Amino acid sequence: MDSRPTAREGAAEPTETGQWEEGAGADGALAELDLFIDALRRRDGLDFSGYKTSTLSRRIRQRMQFLRCADVADYAARIDGDEAERRVLAGELLVNVTEFFRNAPVFSLLARETLPDLLRDRNPGDELRLWSAGCATGEEAYSLAMLALDAAEHAGFTGGVKVFATDLHPEALAAASAGIYDDEAVRTIPEPLLRRFFQREGTRWRAESALRRHVVFARHNLLVDPPFTRLDLVVCRNLLIYLRPEAQLKALDQMHFALKPKGLLLLGTSE
């Protein structure tokens, strides 16, 4: 998402130990990094092979420093055998940063122009199909669904509305599926939409079934798994910046395949 730090492909990462610096000795460093990629893929089905080396190494280093672990091989061995630590590291690598209606002007444009245009001249039996790729804990997917349902009501569209919301991180997806958020999380939801689609439960807010039934959460790897099809809109904001150039192209090809001939792709401000 928009506030995630970016990393320039090929740039050297500052490090206290000198490990994973790109340039001299990079082959050995990459081999050590492959130990983590292999363990996460083999043990948990998380494939980070398309991610930028600089991004992966920086976040692994940060976790090692937190644990006061100076040796890469020792930490790689721990990752291979410690499920709890793998979950923590996976969360660090995936960086689930999001919020409702993040980057408000973008959602204003969706509500004002994009969604009404997509709903124009629809047959009653049609389905408006959207995809939130890299949905994290669900705020973006629910934001899209709220706007789509509101736009459908104003347009008199009686067909279906479906938002496919995907991510690699199973814990983030579990939180998204539960649809429960605190007061701070929902502060950016416009009041009419909050009252319509969420129910207060003590100090938290739960997404109503009228909203949740329109959102399908699923674990999905954009680079490996088959894409969805016949989509009107794909939203993939500031995910590509973490991928290597060849992986970026593959992701774009997947999303292009998923879209209808006149479908739209929404990327992040950093892309």
Segment 71-80 mean pLDDT: 89
120 burial via Cβ count (<10 Å: 0-12, 13-18, 19+): exposed
Residue type, 53: T
Segment 244-264 mean pLDDT: 95
Contact by Cβ (8 Å): 240, 251 = yes
Alpha-carbon distance of 172 to 178, in angstroms, equals: 10
- Distances in Å between the Cα of 212 and the Cα atoms of 50, 105, 144, 146, 179 are 31, 24, 12, 10, 8
Question: pLDDT tens digits for 27-71?
Answer: 445 567 888 988 888 888 888 889 998 889 999 999 999 999 888
Crossing angle of the two packed helices 53-67 and 26-44, in degrees rounded to 10 = 80
Segment 208-237 mean pLDDT: 95
Segment 225-240 mean pLDDT: 94
Alpha-carbon distance of 173 to 138, in angstroms, equals: 7
Determine which helix (DSSP H) or strand (DSSP E) holds 236, and give its type and residue range.
Answer: strand 231-236
Q: Model's pTM, two decimal places?
A: 0.84
Region of 149 (left: φ > 0; alpha: ψ -120 to 50; beta: rest) is: alpha
Q: Kindly indicate the confidence band of residue 237, based on its pLDDT and cuts at 50, 70 and 90.
A: very high
Tell me the pLDDT of the chain averaged across its residues.
87
Contact by Cβ (8 Å): 231, 263 = yes
